[in-house]
Chain A
Amino acid sequence: MFHALADRTRRDILRRVLAGEHSVSALAANYDMSFAAVQKHVAVLEKAGLLTKRRRGREQLASGDVEAVRSVASMLAELEQIWRGRIARIDDLLATDTPQKG
């Protein structure tokens, strides 16, 4: 549950920073969690190469890397196709089993 919520927050942060640069404190104001927690999510996204940060005075400004997001997203979409093929083959293989009496 916590993990799922964490993912949802990161997706939301990513959506915001892809739309434009935001300070980390402005981002944090959107969520019902500590500044440190939001900072941690930002760090995960930064480590994944999806977001970049720069400093302006005391502020940290975060923006999304559109190209990186697009490339990871399209790679996962391609992998999804590979998986769909594999699932279809499993389904076919199971269908060739001798039918068992009810």
Chain B
Amino acid sequence: MPVTDVRHDLDNRSLTIVADFAAPVERVWRIYADPRQLEKIWGPPTHPATVVEHRLEPGGRVLYYMTGPEGEKYPGYWEVEAVDEPKSFTFLDRFADEEFNPKVEMPAARCVYSFAEHEGGTRATYVSTYETVEALQQVLDMGVIEGASLAMGQIDELLAA
């Protein structure tokens, strides 16, 4: 499994995921630089993502919506703060209405994604810090559940028992 480390910080509501990929940094970066590739990885099969605008540069925005099993749409956007291609980018992840206006004053999360060369591949570090408990709740209220990975977790538990 490519996930090598996971860290939960309760006091600032942040989640850090470290993963190692067998591809060069520039290749991993292209997933985020190319909206068609980003769509493939962002949402789970039950909630595919559609990227409608994509400007990965400081002050730019990445607009997307996820579509749920009942056809319900969950629009959101990234407010890009900093970009250091291909090493890192920082953005605020926001909820939006159908016209991509910010839904609430506060962003849901501040995200820092960084990529570094590691043993011939790429070590990616994803840090998402949720501004409030309500923001955290709202993300989960979308009902985005990773069926397959939940099942995998259950299998792991069974094997460990």
Chain A residues at the B interface, C-beta cutoff of 8 Å = 7, 10-11, 14, 44-45, 48-50, 68-69, 71-73, 75-91, 93-94, 97
Contact = CB atoms under 8 A, between A and B. Distances in A.
Interface stretch (B57-65, B73-81, B137-145): B137-145
Interface string B113-134: 0000000000010101000010
Contact of A85 (B2, B133, B149): B149
A43 to B, nearest CB: 10
B10 A73 contact: yes
Contacts of A71: 133
A49 B12 CA distance: 10
A91 B144 CA distance: 20
A15 to B, nearest CB: 11
Given A79-B136, A86-B42, 12 more contacts: A14-B11, A48-B10, A49-B133, A50-B10, A72-B10, A73-B10, A80-B8, A86-B41, A87-B3, A88-B2, A90-B31, A93-B37
A97 B34 CA distance: 15
A75 B22 contact: no
A72 B23 contact: no
Contacts, number: 105
A72 B28 CA distance: 31
Max chain A Cβ within 10 angstroms of own Cβ: one of B13, B22, B139, B145: B13
A100 to B, nearest CB: 10
A-B residue pairs, 6 tightest by C-beta: A85-B146, A89-B41, A76-B8, A85-B149, A84-B149, A94-B23
Interface of B: 1-3, 6, 8-13, 15, 17, 19, 21-23, 27-28, 31, 37, 40-42, 44, 124, 126, 128, 133, 136-137, 139-140, 144-146, 148-150, 152-153
Contacts of A93: 31, 37, 40-41
A99 to B, nearest CB: 11
A75 B140 contact: yes
Contact of B28 (A75, A82, A84, A94): A94
B11 A48 contact: yes
B29 to A, nearest CB: 12
B81 to A, nearest CB: 20
A85 B28 CA distance: 16
Contact of B136 (A10, A72, A81, A87): A72
B137 A79 contact: no
B139 A79 contact: yes
